[in-house]
Amino acid sequence: MSEYDYDLFVIGAGSGGVRASRIAASHGAKVALAEEYRVGGTCVIRGCVPKKMLVYGAHFAEDLHEAARFGWDVNDPKFVWQRLRDIVQTDIDRLEGLYGNTLSSHNVKLFEERATVAGPNEVKLASGQVVTAGKILIATGGWPVPAQCEGAEHALTSNEIFHLEQVPGRLLVVGGGYIANEFAGIFHAFGSDVTILNRSDVLLRSYDQEIVARLVELSKEKGINFHFKASLQKIEKQADGSLHVGFNDGTNADYDTILVATGRAPNSAGLGLEEVGVKLDKSGAVIVDEYNQSSVPSIYAVGDVTNRVQLTPVAIREGHAFADTVFDNNPRIVDYDAIPSAVFASPPIASVGLTEAEASAKYGDDIKIYRSDFRPMKNVVSGREERGLYKMITAGSDEKVIGLHLIGPESSEIIQGAAVAVKAGLSKQAFDDTVALHPSMAEELVLLK
Ligand code: NDP
């Protein structure tokens, strides 16, 4: 008999926490999990999943507009936001149920309440119950950083944007990262007049800037506005419900909705972590070693709360590796090299490996760049001028592919297969040796000059 109530107590039922619970339980551990909001976490409940569903909805705007060129007369199409919003939320309920089933089918005890750490092997639930566990896993994710200005309470974050009553007439999106560019594209397609406000003129800093420049160019052509080198100074709610915004560059403008997307901070406050000796960095992230172990040996952390790579598949891998390491005597570390990622903007950006700037910093002149700047066939038929851009970066005399950067329709679908080749360390020659699949956009990857 264990001296503890559970072998593992997980705090947070997001991607990392659920995977760790399930795998630990399948290795024979007695597992409990506490979740204060909804099982599924950010990705399922108010992140990647509902966002991608909205992206699908947004695509219809251009497709319906161009349908006539493909022979279809679609008379006077109308977008009903409330219908899409509610269907998305119904599916989120379904997914939440599936996650719950996974936990119960693995005999993971679920506490639907907030839990805090009370000691190296002790967790206190909001109900007052104290539970002991051999190991505690912190998987509490991240939280949107709110606006820091007078009237900040009038701005929304990605947590609330899925539940809007109606599509905003004028939408101000603050920030230049993933969430800003994705929601700018979504709400522009739904009919909002969208402005992106960014403190610098650099968007999506971690992406290849030549690809990002193409996104900005295309976004401007679509009618998305950019307000660079400025920040929010003041938000005032007007009598008619609109929001009057003063910027720190002396300008001002009125909007109906403001979405703040200036990053997500680790969700570690008030969990009792520092009180028991768990070291946090200055952003509040739990400091862990490569085995996800914190400065307190019985306490581990995975996912966004550790602020390593804020991506769902990474949190899932960390949770899985933790469970195998601790409960299957199989030490495993996550390999963070060549992680593919995408920005579901319009059109999407997809990337794996080093950007040109990173590659030249690392390899100097020993890199080569190949590009394909092409007009997708579908755009030729529809009469749209929009061009895709694919970029390959190689290093050394064997021309190992160290970076692939795409912007264009379906690029987020195309990159996954190509990422296998980059991860496997293949060369440009291996791409060239692969026969093109014609006609497709993906074939550009094996025809790069
Ligand atoms: P990002 O880190 O992508 O971007 C944050 C943006 O806000 C940057 O443009 C940054 O500018 C700017 N910013 C940061 N601090 C301030 C500030 N104090 N004032 C003004 N601007 C500021 O964050 P997001 O919120 O868009 O997304 C959070 C995370 O969620 C992402 O990092 C990503 O890991 C994940 N995510 C992933 C998605 C995907 O995989 N498709 C989709 C959505 C989110 P600067 O560059 O100057 O620092």
Output the ligand 1 site: residues, CB below 6 A.
175-180, 182, 198-200, 202, 205, 231, 261-264, 310-311, 341-344
> Which of 42, 161, 179 to probe ligand 1 with, by most ligand atoms within 8 A of CB?
179
d(CA 79, CA 329): 54
pLDDT digits 0-9 by tens, 269-323:
999 999 999 999 999 999 999 999 999 999 999 999 999 999 999 999 999 999 9
**Ligand 1 pocket mutation pick from 162, 264, 349, 416 by most atoms within 8 angstroms of CB:** 264
User: What's the pLDDT band for 199 if we cut at 50, 70, 90?
Assistant: very high
Return d(Cα 71, Cα 208) in angstroms, integer.
Answer: 37
Q: Say how many Å lie between the CA of residue 205 and the centre of ligand 1.
A: 9
**CA of residue 174 to ligand 1 center, whole Å:** 10
Spacing, Cα 264 to ligand 1 middle (Å):
7
Ligand 1 atom 38, closest CA: 178
Which pLDDT tens digit goes with each residue over 95-121? 999 999 999 999 999 999 999 999 999
Cβ–Cβ < 8 Å for 88, 220: no
* Alpha carbon nearest to ligand 1 atom 4, residue: 177
Burial class (CB in 10 A: 0-12, 13-18, 19+), 241: exposed
What's the gap between Cα 178 and its chain centre? Answer: 7
Bridge-partner residues for 296, per DSSP?
none
Contact in structure between 131 and 154 (CB atoms under 8 Å): no
In tens, the pLDDT along 228-242 reads 999 999 999 999 999
- Strand 6-11 with 31-34, pairing: parallel
Residue ID of nearest Cα to ligand 1 atom 17:
262
Most ligand 1 atoms within 8 A of CB, residue of 228, 262, 307, 413 to mutate: 262
Ligand 1, closest atom to CA 311? 34
Give residue 246's pLDDT: 98
Mean of pLDDT values over 22-46: 98
Rg (C-alpha) for the chain, rounded Å, is 24
Q: How far is CA 422 from CA 134, 313, 391, 402, in A?
A: 40, 18, 13, 6
Helix or strand or coil: residue 174? strand
Residue nearest to atom 9 of ligand 1 (CA): 176
Residues 6+ apart with CB under 8 A from 388: 347, 372, 373, 374, 375, 376, 406, 407, 408, 409, 411, 441, 444
Residue-wise pLDDT tens digits, 367-406: 999 999 999 999 999 999 999 999 999 999 999 999 999 9
Specify the pLDDT at position 1: 66
Report CA(410)–ligand 1 centroid distance (Å). 22
Residue 145: both structure tokens together: 């950083």
H or E stretch covering 61:
helix 48-66
> Which domains are seen in the chain, by residue range?
6-144+265-327 (3.50.50.60), 152-262 (3.50.50.60), 341-446 (3.30.390.30)
For residue 178, the ligand 1 atom closest to its alpha carbon is 26
395-434: b or e for each residue (b if 16 or more CB lie within 10 Å)? beeebbbbbbbbbbbbbbebbeebbebbeeebbbeebeee
The DSSP secondary structure of 319-388, one letter per residue, reads HHHHHHHHHSS-------TT--EEE--SS-EEEEE--HHHHHHHHTT-EEEEEEEE--HHHHHHT----E
If you take atom 35 of ligand 1, which residue's CA is the nearest one?
Answer: 310
Instruction: Compute how many other C-beta atoms are within 10 angstroms of the C-beta atom of residue 371.
Output: 14
Q: Give the integer Cα–Cα distance in Å for 427 and 397.
A: 10
- Residue 188 CA to residue 221 CA, distance in Å, equals 12
Minimum-distance ligand 1 atom for the alpha carbon of 179: 26
The residue whose CA has the least distance to atom 34 of ligand 1 is 310
Environment class of 324 (CB within 10 Å of its CB; exposed 0-12, middle 13-18, buried 19+)? middle
Average confidence score pLDDT of the chain: 98
Alpha helices (runs of H) in 130-204, residue ranges in sequence order: 158-161, 178-189
Beta strand ranges found along 86-155 (DSSP E): 109-111, 115-119, 122-125, 130-138, 142-144
Residue 52 Cα to chain centre, angstroms: 10
pLDDT in tens, 152-168: 999 999 999 999 999 99
pLDDT of residue 2: 83
Q: 180 CA distance to ligand 1 centroid (A)? A: 8
* Catalytically active residues, by annotation: 438
d(CA 75, CA 383): 19
**Dist. CA 189 → ligand 1 center (Å):** 21
Whole-model pTM: value is 0.97
List the residue whose alpha carbon is closest to atom 46 of ligand 1.
205
373, 345 Cβ separation under 8 angstroms:
no
Shortest-distance atom of ligand 1 to CA 175: 7
Q: Is the pLDDT assigned to residue 53 strictly greater than 80?
A: yes
- For ligand 1, the distance from its centroid to the CA atom of residue 283, given in whole angstroms, is 14
For residue 306, report the distance from its CA to the centre of ligand 1, in Å. Answer: 16
